[in-house]
Amino acid sequence: MSDALRFAYEASSAFRRSLPTRPVGAQATLLELRAALGRPLPETGLPAAQVLAELVRDATPGLVAEPGPRYFGFVIGGSSEAALGADWLTSAWDQNSGLYATSPALAVVEETCTRWLVDLLGLPADSSVGFVTGCQMAHVTCLAAARHALLQRMGWDVEQDGLQGSPRLHVVVGDEVHVTVPRALRFLGLGAGRVLRVPVDGQGRMLPAELAKVLAGLQGPTLVCAQVGNVNTGAMDPMEAIADLCAAHDAWLHVDGAFGLWAAAVPGMRGALKGVERADSWATDAHKWLNVPYDSGLAFVKAPAHHRAAMTVSAAYLIQQEGEAARDAVDWVPEFSRRARGFPIYAQLRALGRRGVADLVAGSCRLARRAAEGLAGIPGAEVLNEVVLNQVLVRFTPPDGGDADAFTRRVVEGVQAEGTCWLSGSTWHGLAVMRVSISGQDTTEDDIDRSVAAIRGIVSVH
């Protein structure tokens, strides 16, 4: 190995080794990072070893211990050794993975992962999968397939003729829809502002009776977007009732399961998502709960023909596979040239096995319940959600009974600065909350207890 690559390997290893003990949040300010990194582009090049050494020196204070065991912000997930190792190999192999012809090994790995994933998540066996950058692009991919299918039924070829003059397509979402869904609709020309929003219950679950009312007022092609795993509460929409309504209305049912869909990999949790397998498309992430490095999302479509029709492309110079002979990734994703992101997923699924995936998901949920119990024991703390998955929402009232919104925000900032763990703030039904998300595979009970103790200490001094 060259000195430069040996250095990169050693610096990566040192960072990983530091994860359990380093402060979780970034240690440098914006101005410090600009002073260190914001240098002019050199006129002539520098040796690779020097460039990498300076990058590590200058970037490290601005890194966040996201793959570490006490990062509970947003919904992030760590990265396992198997997945990280495969990710290193993916970069070293540097395969353009758009076509079978450009990386036969990747094509077969992705087709194998497709089979494993639909089985693991209990989705229809013939579903197709696109390996995309994240759940955002999984929505774009799935909703493009929906747009194709719904308009084709009306005799309209959206791929050829676009949306100008097309039949109206209705889009229905729950009021707690994740922002990436309207953004995908925007990209697809369906207009984020034209969606019909269905009221939700106190946990953020779509109310089927309200959905029924909305659907009763609609005629023509309709797309319904449900959610398993609310980004704040972890709540799941009642999928069986929603699937019944969509079937009766002949609507396309899409599911945002960015992290919540993984509950389907746990035999004891499948009941909570019952009906999810009756949808037409599902978007999820591998880089969250599966603990694969960024970027890695998954777009599943029940009817491969609609998926392929929405994504495929052809050109005279491409060597493409006929029919289903072999997999050309360009047929299933919006990207053309792309990273071989199937390798880390393949490695992680083999490293965990079916039982390991289930244990990872169930284990995070158990730790979330432990965190909720610990946090509820802090004076003035109140857990606002039913802890059904890996998310906990806590709110803190100050000892003098004063402004709980301001106090909760101060506690969140205090926790972020203290460094034992890192969590983000959010707003739930107009109330400021601290949001705890447990999705890293290295988190232990001790990490939860240490974090709760640190939060208790911060509440007591603020």
Ligand X SMILES: *Cc1c(COP(=O)(O)O)cnc(C)c1O
Task: Give residues in contact with ligand X (CB under 6 A).
Answer: 75, 134-136, 178, 180, 229, 231, 256, 258-259, 285, 297
CB of 35 closer than 8 Å to CB of 59: no
| 290 C-beta neighbours (distance < 10 Å), count | 29
CB of 80 closer than 8 Å to CB of 69: no
Sign, CA dihedral 36-41-45-48, equals: positive
| Nearer to ligand X (CB atom), residue 147 or residue 254 | 254
Reduced to 3 states, what is the DSSP secondary structure of residue 264?
Answer: helix
Beta-carbon contacts of 329 under 8 Å, excluding residues fewer than 6 positions away, are 97, 98, 99, 106, 107, 110, 130, 131, 335, 338
Instruction: Provide, rounded to whole angstroms, the least separation between the CB of residue 77 and ligand X.
Output: 10
CB-count burial class (<10 Å; 0-12, 13-18, 19+) for 39: exposed
What are the beta bridge partners of residue 282? 255, 300
Instruction: Provide, rounded to whole angstroms, the least separation between the CB of residue 297 and ligand X.
Output: 5
Phi (first) and psi of residue 440, to 5 degrees: -90, 140
| Nearer to ligand X (CB atom), residue 285 or residue 331 | 285
| Nearer to ligand X (CB atom), residue 156 or residue 289 | 289
Instruction: Provide, rounded to whole angstroms, the least separation between the CB of residue 441 and ligand X.
Output: 17
| Nearer to ligand X (CB atom), residue 136 or residue 451 | 136
In Å, how far are 196, 395, 435 from 201, measured between CA atoms? 17, 19, 19
| Nearer to ligand X (CB atom), residue 256 or residue 277 | 256
| Nearer to ligand X (CB atom), residue 158 or residue 173 | 173
What are the beta bridge partners of residue 253? 224
Instruction: Provide, rounded to whole angstroms, the least separation between the CB of residue 71 and ligand X.
Output: 15
Place of tokens 């006490």: 70
Instruction: Provide, rounded to whole angstroms, the least separation between the CB of residue 388 and ligand X.
Output: 14
In Å, how far are 327, 354, 386 from 130, measured between CA atoms? 11, 21, 33
Instruction: Provide, rounded to whole angstroms, the least separation between the CB of residue 257 and ligand X.
Output: 8
Instruction: Provide, rounded to whole angstroms, the least separation between the CB of residue 67 and ligand X.
Output: 16
| Nearer to ligand X (CB atom), residue 407 or residue 428 | 428
| 431 C-beta neighbours (distance < 10 Å), count | 14
Q: In the chain, how long is the greatest CA-to-CA distance?
A: 73
